[in-house]
Amino acid sequence: MLPALPEKKMVFKGLVTNKEDMDKLMLTPRIHYPLLGSSALITFEKAEVAQRIIEVKEHMVELSYGEEVEEVDRCRMRVQAGPVEVLLPSTLEMALIRSCRSILVSELPSLGIPDEGLLDKLELFFSKTKNGGGEVESREFLDDSGQVVLTFMQDGGASLSSVVVERLIARGHVEVPIGKGKYKLKISPHVNGDITNLQ
């Protein structure tokens, strides 16, 4: 396990059309870089801007707030700029496992209700067999994507939960009453992944 790479839950929302592409997943890295104390990592949209700042090396940064500050109250800091080499992986392999007991619910409306209230409404709806669901074991709100993972109970070792999951995924979308309206929510497979090779 690499300390610079935090654990991150990911949701695969792509459509696989070719059999050979089934095990491929494109990721956009969000750089987490360990820094020494009293350091800051600043990224620029244009490389030439960063290059100009690095060429000057020493900079005087004005820390005072406001335009009309007395000379006595001014606060400046001398800083040095230098290049940072960010190592990005050349190869990343992941083992993806599709859950037979969980679904991913997306396209949730923004209604201004607390997450817990929304989770309660989804659990109530999907726990009813008339809605194609079954007994919900757990529910989790994925903050970074605004989606919900619902996991169904395993019925005494039988594969009832996988039947419920497959039936809901086959429907693709479900109309769910929330508050005073009905909202069309997307149902997808829930996929977990572990990094198996990072170079």
Q: 175 phi and psi, to 5 degrees?
A: -85, 120
Question: Which CATH number among 3.60.20.10, 3.40.50.720, 3.20.20.70, 3.30.70.330 corresponds to the domain 93-198?
Answer: 3.30.70.330
91 CB-near residues (< 8 Å, 6+ apart)? 197, 198, 199
Mean of pLDDT values over 152-178: 84
Report percent pLDDT > 90 for the chain.
34
Alpha-carbon distance of 2 to 194, in angstroms, equals 13
Confidence of residue 85 (pLDDT cuts 50, 70, 90): confident
Residue 8 sits at φ, ψ, to 5 deg, of -140, 125
Tokens of 116: 């817990």
Neighbours of 105 (CB within 10 A): 25
Computed over every residue of the chain, the mean pLDDT equals 81
| More confident of the two residues 177 and 70 | 177
The DSSP code sequence of 118-173 is: HHHHHHHHHT-GGGT---EEEEEEETTTTEEEEEEPP-TTSSHHHHHHHHHHHH-E
Q: What does the pLDDT average to over 168-184?
A: 92
Express each pLDDT in 18-35 by its tens digit: 666 555 555 565 666 777
Please write the tens of the pLDDT for every residue from 21-75: 555 555 565 666 777 788 888 888 888 998 999 999 898 888 777 667 676 667 8
